[in-house]
Amino acid sequence: MVKTLDARTSQGSNGQQILTPSFMNGVPLLFAQVGLQISNPGMSIRTFFSGIVEITASQLPVNGNLVIEVYRGLGGSQQLVYRANTTVLANPFFSPCILSFSGSEYNVPAPGNGQLVYSAYATFSYNPIYNVNNVRLGPESFNTTVYSDD
What's residue 132's pLDDT?
A: 76
State the pLDDT confidence band at 134, using cuts at 50, 70 and 90: low
* 66-83: pLDDT as tens digits: 999 999 999 888 999 999
| pLDDT tens, position by position, 89-105 | 887 777 788 899 999 99
Domain boundaries, the chain: 2-149
Confidence category of residue 148, pLDDT binned at 50, 70, 90 = very high
Average pLDDT, the chain: 90
Q: How far apart are the first and last CA of the chain?
A: 6
Pairing of the two strands 97-105 and 79-88: unpaired
Task: Report helix, strand or coil for 76.
Answer: helix
Element (H, E) at 109: none
The class that CATH gives domain 2-149 is mainly beta
